[in-house]
Structure 1
Amino acid sequence: MRKALKKVQDFFSKKLVFFALVIILFWIKTYIAYQTEFTLGVSGTVQNILLIVNPIPFALILFGIALFFRGKVSYWIMMVIDWIESIWLFANILYYREFSDFLTLGVIKSTGSVSNNLGLSISKIIRPTDFFVFIDVVVLTLLLITKVIKVDKRPVRFRQGIISVVAGIVLFGINLGAANQDRPQLLTRTFDNNYIVKYLGMNFYAGYNAYQNYKQTQTRKDAKKEDLNKALKFARQNYLPPNVQYYGKEKGKNVFIIHLESFQQFLIDYKWDGQEVTPNIDAFYHDQNTMSFDNFFNQVGQGKTSDAETMLENSLYGLPSGSAMTEYGGSNTFDAMPAIMDQHGYSTASFHGDVGSFWNRINTYKAWGYQYFFDKDYYTSKENYNVGYGLKDKIFLKQAVNYLQQLPQPFYAKIITLTNHYPYELDKQNQSIPKTDTGDDTVDGYVQTARYLDQAFGEFINYLKKTGLYNNSMIVVYGDHYGISNNHPKAIAQLLGKKSVSSYDLAMFQKVPFMIHAPGLKGGINHTYGGEIDVMPTLLDLLGIPDKQYLMLGQDLLNPNHSQTVAFRDGNFVSPTYSKIGSKIYNNKGEVVNDRLTPEEKQWVKGQQNYVDKQLEISDQIITGDLLRFYHPKGFKRVDKSDYNYNYKAGMKQLQEAQKKHPTSLLDQNHGKTTVNDFSTDAPELKGVTNKQLYKYYQTAH
């Protein structure tokens, strides 16, 4: 028995055998992760073979480096590489579970701006089985440390290392050729990281993404004024004049942008346990003075909320990887809606119950021209006032009205809620509806936090009615992005009352609410297809602010000639007639019609795909090249970021001076009497808490 064990030990102590063992174990765990942790959309023999093969080429190249070294050094180089590979795989498993995408350098670089909020999310995402990716490397490391596997001290044979690296390169070349055959222009036209991993593997994806990141940096450095002309030409070709029926109809009114965190369209009129989940939002949606869009889609990428804000206030898309606000928000030039509103006599402010560094808002908002940013520093915060990503909505809104009442009118105010955010946790005393019973922990708490958001929304609307702001404002309400990612098809099907969901169903699931309310505005359900890229031109036209001079990629949703082809960040698109999801074309009944299209219909689909690709490409060029620094719209004064300071003391001083200069605030209209008492909330945390106790920084110019 001992002799047999000794033979096994000697066999695995040979460098080449140990090298092969490391690669085989690495390959097995990567393939298992592909199949169990990621939704790569693999179909057909070629794609399945490529999925099996693609971990091997870079494994041969990376681990092959160790073969050029002798003794212990060779073995520990293999282990270090294996640990790095395992950590990379582990991190991507966690990230993909929530965001249905792979980590990018942009996301990794931006973790500093969001890391304070990641702990809770990771603790909810992580599963014991995730640690399987470390089993092989832990066991091999221990076997080396305990000398069960002994170091092969024979001289280096350089040809072994050369063969391994060359074999890896050749195999990758074959892999790339087969991938390009199955998916033409894979690396030149892709907008989806899933394709890269599916065809070429995690390691190539990491290197390719690093190259993309480098290219973005170089693009800005190399961009010239002439590059702007292509973008201007595209924007002007697709510009639509305002609908005369609506142009200037809301001129001079206050503007509220109420940001419903992670709120999807399917929640409108949705019932669970015999209860309407969001009765206040539903009533607002169906109000006779609310124009509601039931085919409005979120178009975010990895930047999630930051992408939604970028589109909403710039009519530019987020980036194909990372967050434009994090990567470029503090350095780029923008012609953003807050700056435009400021130059048309509006006070501009954003309200958020989280730290200003989140998504780099504290820098980006300066570039966008926000006069005020009332972040978490402006509010009283206690442990039970917070959940996940900041202040609970009811507590946040109750305090936000103190600053809202001091803004000179007319104002442009963005209110960002956040309680309805993954992981959809809510303490028991705030729960007012049971969880759904899909059995998916990620999904089932969603209705509870959505109900809480709805209650906070109702309280805020009641405040606006009591103070008169409701009748003197245009109130825009929208959902920023999905709450339940497409990575939960079984739960989604159950929520929608279906047996299963197709790719088309999941695309339709990306709808979010978009509502515009104003006194005298003719309400109703508008079936126009559109997305977040279209909000800015729509609002500017309603407010009667000329916008033809601005470089916007969206179109006014109220123009009857509006292009109803809605682009997604991955290059797919939906429309009222045909939608293209991956390689499949669907009609508006959700049927695959690739083989049933006439030549004319195929040409139409091709034309729409070209339009979508061009629109995304132009947007990326504008942001990565900072092209707006070369552009000077007529009548628009370029923003000077040094004019803004969101520090509490500086912000309050500026607010007080503004009230003296323009005594038009709600507080002025109320003869200096505070309106905070008009905000009624049933937040249990505030029971018995006086306004004086709540408003830690309570002060006004009066």
Structure 2
Amino acid sequence: MNNFLKKLYAKLNTRFGFFTLVLFVFWIKTYLVYITKFNLGIASTYQMVLAFINPLPFALLILGIALYFKGKKSYWLLLVLDFICSLWMFANILYYREFSDFLSLGIIKTSGTVSNNLGLSISEILHGTDFLVFVDVIVFALLLIFKLIKVDYSPVKYRVPAVITVLSVVLFGLNLTAAEKDRSQLLTRTFDNNYIVKYLGLNFYAGYNAYQTHKQNETRAHASSSDMDKVLKFINKNRTEDNIQYFGKAKGKNVFIFHLESFQQFLIDYKVDGKEVTPNINSFYHNQNTLSFDNFFNQVGQGKTSDAETMLENSLYGLPSGSVTSTYGTDNTFQALPAMLSQRGYTTASFHGDVGSFWNRNNTYKSWGYQYFFDKEFYKDKADYSVGYGLKDKIFLKQAAQYIEQLPQPFYAKIITVTNHYPYQIDKQNQDFPKTTTGDNTVDGYVQTAHYLDQAFGEFISYLKKTGLYDNSMIVMYGDHYGISNNHKKAIAQLLGKDKVTDYDLVNFQKVPFMIHMNGLQGGINHTYGGEIDVMPTLLDLMGIKNTDTIQFGQDLLATNRRQVVAFRNGDFTSPQYTKVGSTVYNNKGEKVTDKLNKKEKSIIDQDQEYVTSSLDLSDKVITGDLLRFYTPSNFKNVNKQDITYNYTKSMAQLKQAQKDKKSSLLYKNNDKSTVDLYSTDAPELK
């Protein structure tokens, strides 16, 4: 035994021996992270073996670079490379825990647009065990510093690192071939980053994503007007007809878009200890003049809230990587709803209690045609006024009233709430609702901030009723994306009263509310399947705006001839008949039917999949190629961003002038007497 240990120690004191040790530990470490920190959906022994093998090829390639050097340089370069790869792993652990996805080059490039207030989120996401990914680097460094591992100064035999490099390429080729057998067209048809990591590894994903980003830039540079032909063909083939019963019902009305941050459909009518979490929203949902959709899904990707806004006001999907608003919002041509309405006499404004640079809104909103953007600069802020990602909703909404009353009517106003945002914390003075008791710290506070949001909404609606705006407005509410990610399966099961949840359950758990309210509107619960991509054409129908030549990938939710297939950003989909998650198909009872489908049913699934894939792919091409610069629908003028400013002084001067010119604002009609005093809130900070 002693003889064996001596031989082993002698091997470790060679350059190749030390490399092998570092490589082996890094390999095992990566695999352990896969199975303990990520939810890759490993469903078979075959996939388990692939997940175990896939860290090796790129570890050989990257760490093998150190073997081309001699002496101390080789050893320390090896550890530097190990540290860089470990840091990438660490960053992905944190990002994945919150967003159920992996970091991309697009997210990293635009991190400055979403970085404020992340300190609190990271502190909540961080687990002590996450730092274990650095332990091997530290131990190896100490072994070298204290010379427990001696440096091998022998000359470099270049055939060894060359063989390592070739071996890494060969192993990756075998890995890819094996992956393709289990998941055909892995790199050409999948939209889910979990598949890439599960089959090919985290490091490959990083390189693949960088390549995709480069390809997107190339696509834009080489795009031409002829690229619009396929887009127009697809759009026109799937365009729906206006619903005569609803067309124009909201013509000339004010429009409020109430953006419910991280709000999921299950909260509607949900109770904790016998108390309704959202009594005001519940009442609104069930109102006889509210059209409520109970099969409405969030369809966001990595851009989360920014994706929701992109779909809501452009009927274009978010990207498979990064954020449309952060990457393309400044320079791309858009034909967004705010621009359409401002060209038809509406005043368009967005209200947000955080900084304007968040998700690059201060630039994107100009591209979308918003005339006003009332960001954090427009509101009073004190030490206890904000939490997490901006002003608390009650304080924000009350202060927003001073600008709402100045908007010339009709107006289009989007109100973005933020308090019900991860990590779902609210100070004690605003806690008047019990937490859930799942034992998951991320989940249990969710109902508290949702209840606070509901109270803020109730106060806002009360103000609208007191001022008369309620009777002259169409009020639209929607949840932008999930609040509880699919990583919290045990907690989700408890919330839903189930022993465990399936992938089918998780798809339906990601439903978000969508409601349209207006006095005189024939309301009720609408069961049609749809998502955020469908909001814009639906609103155009209600507002009486013909939608015969626009580039929109959604369909009017009120149309009778619409196709009820909801595309998710990863390429999965759901419909009234089937839900497809990866390669598994469920019926509408939640039963797996993948191997029970007849020829006709398989044809339906294939057609739906082709529709989803084409829709996502063509939308991506519109965005990455900036194709709307080559096409302008009738009765639309491209936005001149130079005419728009969100500077406080200039915006207020412009608003004052607009009130004089149009003489239709609430303030003007109230003989310049402010209505802000009519806004009642129980916010303790304002007492």
Asked if 2 retains the 8 angstrom alpha-carbon contact of 1:424 and 1:442, the reply is yes
Inter-partner Cα distance in structure 2 for 1:104 and 1:135: 25
Partner of 2:511: 511
Deviation at 1:3, TM superposition (A): 10
Deviation at 1:62, TM superposition (A): 1.1
Letter in 2 for 1:651: S
SS in 1 for 2:632: coil
Deviation at 1:145, TM superposition (A): 2.0
Partner of 1:477: 477
Partner of 1:335: 335
Deviation at 1:6, TM superposition (A): 7.7
CA distances 1:242-272 after superposition (whole Å, capped 9, x unpaired): 1011110110000000000000000000000
Asked if 2 retains the 8 angstrom alpha-carbon contact of 1:9 and 1:148, the reply is no
State whether structure 2 residue 290 is matched by structure 1 residue 290. Answer: yes
Spell out the pairing of 1:61-140 with structure 2 (5 A cutoff).
61-140=61-140
Partner of 1:456: 456
State whether structure 2 residue 374 is matched by structure 1 residue 381. Answer: no
SS in 1 for 2:533: helix
Deviation at 1:45, TM superposition (A): 2.4
Spell out the pairing of 1:140-289 with structure 2 (5 A cutoff).
140-289=140-289
Partner of 2:435: 435
Partner of 1:324: 324
CA distances 1:421-452 after superposition (whole Å, capped 9, x unpaired): 00000111101111111011110100000000
Deviation at 1:10, TM superposition (A): 4.1
Q: Between 177-186 and 5-14, report the one with greater CA deviation.
A: 5-14
Asked if 2 retains the 8 angstrom alpha-carbon contact of 1:107 and 1:323, the reply is yes
Partner of 1:525: 525
CA distances 1:464-497 after superposition (whole Å, capped 9, x unpaired): 0000000000000000000000011110000000
Task: Percent identity, please.
Answer: 67
Spell out the pairing of 1:569-608 with structure 2 (5 A cutoff).
569-608=569-608
Partner of 1:679: 679
Asked if 1 retains the 8 angstrom alpha-carbon contact of 2:530 and 2:557, the reply is yes
Any stretches of 5+ residues in structure 1 without a counterpart? Answer: 688-702
SS in 2 for 1:122: helix
Spell out the pairing of 1:526-541 with structure 2 (5 A cutoff).
526-541=526-541
Asked if 1 retains the 8 angstrom alpha-carbon contact of 2:241 and 2:561, the reply is no
Cα RMSD, aligned residues only: 1.2
Partner of 2:562: 562
Inter-partner Cα distance in structure 2 for 1:460 and 1:240: 35
Inter-partner Cα distance in structure 1 for 2:24 and 2:474: 62
CA distances 1:33-62 after superposition (whole Å, capped 9, x unpaired): 000010101122221111110000111111
Asked if 2 retains the 8 angstrom alpha-carbon contact of 1:538 and 1:557, the reply is yes
Inter-partner Cα distance in structure 2 for 1:362 and 1:644: 10
SS in 1 for 2:110: helix
SS in 1 for 2:188: helix
Partner of 2:497: 497
Deviation at 1:110, TM superposition (A): 1.2
Q: How many residues get paired?
A: 687
Inter-partner Cα distance in structure 2 for 1:5 and 1:176: 37
Deviation at 1:146, TM superposition (A): 2.3
Letter in 1 for 2:574: V
Partner of 1:31: 31
Inter-partner Cα distance in structure 2 for 1:487 and 1:4: 45
Deviation at 1:142, TM superposition (A): 1.7
Deviation at 1:143, TM superposition (A): 1.5
Letter in 2 for 1:283: S
SS in 2 for 1:483: coil
CA distances 1:321-372 after superposition (whole Å, capped 9, x unpaired): 1101101000100000000000111000000000000000000000000000
Inter-partner Cα distance in structure 1 for 2:59 and 2:150: 22
Any stretches of 5+ residues in structure 2 without a counterpart? Answer: none
Deviation at 1:117, TM superposition (A): 2.1
Q: Residues 196 and 2 of structure 1: is their aligned pair in 2 closer, same or farther, counting only changes over 3 Å?
A: closer
Inter-partner Cα distance in structure 2 for 1:502 and 1:324: 31
SS in 2 for 1:387: coil
Letter in 1 for 2:164: S
Inter-partner Cα distance in structure 1 for 2:107 and 2:412: 30
Runs of 4+ aligned residues of structure 1 deviating over 3 Å after TM superposition are 1-11
Letter in 1 for 2:591: E
Partner of 1:612: 612
Letter in 1 for 2:672: G
Inter-partner Cα distance in structure 2 for 1:287 and 1:34: 47
TM-score (norm 1): 0.97
